[in-house]
Amino acid sequence: MDWSVDWNLRLRMLLAVALLFALAAAFVGVVAGILAAAAEPFGLPRLVAPALATLLLVGLATLELRQRDHVVRGAGAVDVDAETDPRLHRTVTSVAQQADVPVPTLAVAKTETPEAFTAGFRPSTTTFVVSTGLLDELDDEELRAVVAHELAHVKNRDVAVMTAVSLPTAIAERLYDLGTSPTGETTLENWEYRSDGKRESKSLVGFVAATVGWLFALVGRVVVAIFSRTRELAADRGAVVITGDPAALASALSKIERRLRDRPTDDLRATASVSAFSVVSPASVDEVGDEPIRLGVDGDRAATYHHRWRRMQAFVGHYLQTHPPVADRRERLKRLARER
C-alpha cells in the first residue's frame, strides 16, 4: 500500500474546510457589525469598525496560538534521548526514517493515562510526547504503530492545519468569554441606564458578543470535529503505509481504549487538556458495563429522565468528538488489511 489519496476522506475534508471558511467570513462580518454599533454612540466613523475588528481578532488569535505552545508543558513531559529511553528513541528514529520526516524531540510524561501526541507547527520543530502508561501498556510492534500514527500527522502537517481551521472557533469562544461576566452571566443582566433612558451600549454589545460567540463557537466546534475525525482516519491509514501492520495499530487502539476505561474519572479530568490531542481521546471511548439507574423500593422502575439525558449527551457528544470511535477505526483497519 502506498501513500495514495483516500478520496472519501479528501472530499469530507474539503467540505469541512469550505464550511469553516464560510463560518470565518460570517464571523468577521458579524464582529465588524457589533463594533460598528458600539462605535456609533460615540460619534466614531463607521470605517473604524473593520480596523477594530481586525485588531481584536488578531489579538485573540495570538493569544490562542501562544496557548497551544503550553501543551507540552501542560503534560508535565520531560525530554528524553537515546541514553535515558533507548527503546523509545530507537523506535521513533526508525519510524521517522521510514516516513521521511525529521526525528522529533522526544518527551515522556509520568502519568498512567495512556497518551501519545505531537506538538509543533513544522516537522523540523515537532515534539513527540508519550506517557509512561502507554509505554508500559504496549509491546514493541504496537508502540511502533502508534508512533507511525503520530508521525503521519507530522507528514500531513496536521498540527498546523488543525490550528488554522480551529482558530475561528477558538476566537469565537474567547469572544463569548469577553461578553460574559466572571460568573458566566451575560452582561444583559447587569444593564445600567443613562440619564436619557438608554441602556449602556457596552452592556448591549457584551450581550450580543456573548450570544454571537456562543453560536459561532458551537457551529464551529461541530465542523472542526468533523475535520479532525477525518485527519485521525488519514493518520491511521498513514501508519499502515509506514509500518505495513494494520493489526498492530488495531491492537494498540484496543489496549489504550481498555486502559482509559479503567482509569478513574478524576485522573482523566486531570489530563483532559492533553488527552484531547492524544492518539485516542477519552471522549471517543464508549462506556460499557454501566448499570442503568433503577428507582422504587424493589428497583423495578427505570430512571426515564436520566436515561433520556444520557442518550441526549451521547447524541450531542458524537458530533463534538475530535476522534472517531475506536470500534470504527478498528473496522477501517481491517478493511485496509484486506486491501493489502
Average pLDDT value over all residues in the chain: 76
d(CA 161, CA 165): 6
Residue 61 has pLDDT above 50, yes or no: yes
Please give the torsion angle defined by the CA atoms of residues 223, 228, 231 and 236, in that order, rounded to the nearest 10 degrees: -140
Q: Please report the pLDDT score of residue 93 as a whole number.
A: 98
Residue ranges of E strands in the chain = 77-80, 105-109, 116-119, 127-131, 294-295, 301-302
Q: What number is the average pLDDT over the span 155-184?
A: 71
d(CA 258, CA 289): 12
φ/ψ of residue 17, rounded to 5: -65, -40
Residue 43 φ/ψ region, left for φ over 0, alpha for ψ in the -120 to 50 degree band, beta for the rest: left
φ/ψ of residue 165, rounded to 5: -75, -20
d(CA 315, CA 278): 22
Alpha helices in 244-303 (DSSP H): 246-262, 265-270, 272-275
Residue of higher predicted confidence among 136 and 75: 136
**Which residues belong to the active site?**
150
b/e map 180-210, b = 16+ CB within 10 Å:
beeeeebbbeeeeeeeeeeeeeebbbbbbbb
Please tell me the least confidently modeled range out of 58-67, 90-99, 111-120, 322-331: 58-67
Q: Please report the pLDDT score of residue 198 as a whole number.
A: 46
Cell matching residue 281: 481521546
Element (H, E) at 184: none
Beta strand 294-295 with 77-80: parallel, antiparallel or unpaired?
Answer: unpaired
Q: What number is the average pLDDT over the span 53-73?
A: 61
Residue 192 has pLDDT above 50, yes or no: no
**Cα–Cα–Cα angle for 39, 42, 44, rounded to 5 degrees:** 60
Residue of higher predicted confidence among 170 and 231: 231
In sequence order, which residues have a C-beta less than 8 Å from that of residue 160 and are 6 or more positions away? 121, 122
Q: Report helix angle 304-320 to 201-243, nearest 10.
A: 70
Pair 60, 83: CB distance under 8 Å: no
pLDDT tens readout for residues 242-294: 999 999 999 999 999 999 988 766 655 555 556 567 899 887 775 544 455 55
d(CA 177, CA 268): 25
Q: Furthest-apart CA pair in the chain: how many Å?
A: 77
Residue of higher predicted confidence among 60 and 121: 121
Pair 107, 117: CB distance under 8 Å: no
pLDDT tens readout for residues 283-303: 777 554 445 555 555 655 655
